[in-house]
Amino acid sequence: MISRSPGRAGAADTLAGGPRRRRVLKGVRAGAPLPLLLPALIGLAFLILPLVALLIRAPWRSMPHLLTSTEVWQALQLSLLCATAATAACLVFGVPLAWLLARVEFPGRGVVRALVTLPLVLPPVVGGVALLMALGRNGVVGKWLDSWFGITLPFTTWGVVVAEAFVAMPFLVISVEGTLRAADPRYEEAATTLGASRFTAFRRVTLPLIAPGVAAGAVLAWARALGEFGATITFAGNFPGRTQTMPLAVYLALQNDPEAAIALSLVLLAVSIAVLAGLRDRWMTAS
């Protein structure tokens, strides 16, 4: 579209008639103005270039060796496990929360929605510190968890899951809430008149109807959890095999083994592309 020159468009102009001509003209108008085109191309290059550089500098030959080391495998396994567990937690608590926000009118709903969205814009490190204050050994809640149940979350694998869930849940809630708002609430009413309790109506009617939105939200949350760094390192630390996830491993490797860092980054890039491919029906074709 952007490469279509005025000359060619002019030729098409005289040859084709009616709707086709209009389409060509529209294409020219959409791509033409230089003050828009130039920054657009720079922006595009800015986004793509680093990823290309990663591919160019990748130590392809030593790749198999780098990726089969125990540490890499440990980090990858831990990452997948924690991200999946965090996503499960997001689903269990986030879907009902989204339903509450979308379907039940209560005072202060706007404030609650803002609070739910906060972790989205909060620097993850701050999230990690906040989690320490809440769930740390001397935290507001953590104190009781420790003395009553003997549960300690910070600097454990469960801590990683908690940190990731904290950061990822807003993605799921917002995605599911949006889908719920778009879904026709009258289906729930129809279910009610057939004798379904509100919970049955949700489980048997609403949930299947919003399943695509829930799936998309879960994938988003999973991807966010997989890449989590700030909150994780603050709340759970950086212990190989226990709390060292891929992003932490990448950061650490960059200090003493840059090639390994690149290799690990490529793995995460591949996962990201896979996520995007999985979501393409939902977003990329929407435009």
Binder of other proteins out of 33, 43, 96, 208 (CB under 8 A): 208
Calculate helix-pair angle for 157-182, 109-121, nearest 10 degrees: 130
Binding span for other proteins by CB under 8 A among 72-80, 127-135, 191-199, 267-275:
191-199
Of 169 and 205, the one with the shorter C-beta distance to other proteins is 205
Closest among 212, 213, 176, 206 to 190, alpha carbons compared:
206
CB of 199 to other proteins, least distance (A): 10
Of 65 and 204, the one with the shorter C-beta distance to other proteins is 204
Closest among 204, 201, 221 to 213, alpha carbons compared:
221
Binder of other proteins out of 26, 57, 143, 204 (CB under 8 A): 204
Binding span for other proteins by CB under 8 A among 64-72, 79-87, 195-203, 255-263:
195-203
CA torsion angle for 166, 159, 234, 174 (degrees, to 10)? -10
Q: Yes or no: say if 216 and 231 are a contact pair by the CB < 8 Å rule.
A: no
Binding positions for other proteins, 165-184, rule CB under 8 A? 184
Is residue 104 at the binding interface for other proteins, with CB under 8 A as the rule? no
Is residue 194 at the binding interface for other proteins, with CB under 8 A as the rule? yes
Dihedral sign from CA coordinates of 47, 76, 279, 230 = negative
Other CB atoms within 10 Å distance of the CB of residue 119: 20
Is residue 103 at the binding interface for other proteins, with CB under 8 A as the rule? no
Is residue 134 at the binding interface for other proteins, with CB under 8 A as the rule? no
d(CA 51, CA 240): 27
What is the separation of C-alpha 159 from the centre of its chain, rounded to a whole number of angstroms? 19
Q: Give the chain's end-to-end CA distance (angstroms, integer).
A: 15
Is residue 151 at the binding interface for other proteins, with CB under 8 A as the rule? no
CB of 281 to other proteins, least distance (A): 18
Burial code (b: 16+ CB inside 10 Å, e: under 16) for 236-272 equals bbeeeeebbbbbbbbebbeeeeeebbbbbbbbbeebe
Binder of other proteins out of 12, 88, 196, 275 (CB under 8 A): 196
Is residue 215 at the binding interface for other proteins, with CB under 8 A as the rule? no
Binding span for other proteins by CB under 8 A among 61-69, 143-151, 163-171, 197-205:
197-205
Q: What would the two tokens of residue 38 be?
A: 């130039």
Of 149 and 199, the one with the shorter C-beta distance to other proteins is 199
Of 67 and 196, the one with the shorter C-beta distance to other proteins is 196
Compute how many residues bind other proteins; rule: CB under 8 A: 18
Binding site for other proteins (CB under 8 A): 184, 186-187, 189-198, 200, 204-205, 208-209
